[in-house]
Amino acid sequence: KLIKAMTYLYILVVALITLFSKQVGRIEPVMVLRVDKEKGYIDLSKRRVSPEDIQACEDRYSKSKMVHSIMRHVSETTCTDLHSLYVSLGWPLYVKHGHAFNAFKIMVTDHNLIFSDSSLNNEVINESVKHALIKDICRRMTPQPLKIRADMELTCFSSDGIECIKDAMRAAESSSTKECKVKVSLIASPLYVVTTQTLDKESGMATIEAAIHEATVRINTRKGKLVLKEPPRVVSERDDRLLAESMNEINKDSSESEDLSDD
């Protein structure tokens, strides 16, 4: 049974103030429901924003921040009015390329393709502006190589097992391409890692998979075995640091074991 009750209005007000004070400074994607130009109000809704819209909005916001940061820095270093720079360069690039960020990415490899556009105002975009813009874009937007790694176990219990494993490692490294150089490293027998660095994730993954295939074929012919422990994946600096720490621990344990055996 529902029972009606009453509460003091100030309690609700304090609760609302507390709730909204926690939101101050946070950036949230919202939907514009209505704009009242006469009263100067904008009605917003957070509920009506779908997860897909949130992702798209955050991505667009991140790109716009990067573009504005570059434009502002170029404006300051060349003593060019920022608004004039947007009118002459920024906004035309938004219209033609969907986002100025996309045009800036093209500039990393072919800046002439962008500056040859007749819609740009060459009076404002002089050589000093072009030079500053290209320099800033290349410094901030040149893609960083990805490191791709796979973990595997190599075992062979035949009389020439060590040579068999070395042969399998060489077969894996022979899968290297001009863009992706494959390297096989020993962690602690029988665990090995296959790594490569590349700007193209798909190409790097395919190269590592080809290297594992070559190593599997080679070691199987010598009655050995390859077990894939971790499939090819992009790893971060943190993963590399953890791997290095693991290798140091293994080396430390092995050296302590040797010291004990000597005693």
User: 73 CB contacts (<8 Å, ≥6 apart)?
Assistant: 132, 136
**Mean of pLDDT over the chain:** 83
CA gap 22, 24 in Å, rounded: 6
* pLDDT at position 151: 92
Question: Token pair for residue 223?
Answer: 């009655």
pTM of the model: 0.53
CA gap 232, 116 in Å, rounded: 42
Burial 56-80 (b: 16+ CB within 10 A, else e): ebeeeeebeebbeebbebbbeeeeb
* pLDDT at position 144: 79
Biggest CA pair distance of the chain: 90
Instruction: Give the range among 80-84, 203-207, 230-234, 246-250 with minimum mean pLDDT.
Output: 246-250
* pLDDT at position 187: 85
pLDDT surpasses 90 at 152: yes
pLDDT surpasses 90 at 194: yes
State the sign of the Cα–Cα–Cα–Cα dihedral 79, 122, 82, 63: negative
% of the chain beyond a pLDDT of 90: 37
- Under 8 Å between Cβ of 114 and 129: no
Q: pLDDT for 37-82, tens place per residue?
A: 888 888 888 888 888 888 888 889 889 999 999 999 999 999 999 9
pLDDT surpasses 60 at 260: no
* pLDDT at position 259: 53
User: 96 CB contacts (<8 Å, ≥6 apart)?
Assistant: 103, 117, 119
Instruction: Give the range among 38-47, 117-126, 167-176 with minimum mean pLDDT.
Output: 117-126
Average pLDDT value for residue range 83-102: 91
Confidence class for position 145, pLDDT limits 50, 70, 90:
confident
* pLDDT at position 6: 56
Torsion region of 80: left, alpha or beta (phi above 0 gives left; psi -120 to 50 gives alpha): beta
CA gap 145, 143 in Å, rounded: 7
Of residues 239 and 97, the one with the higher pLDDT is 97
Looking at the chain, how many residues does it have?
Answer: 263
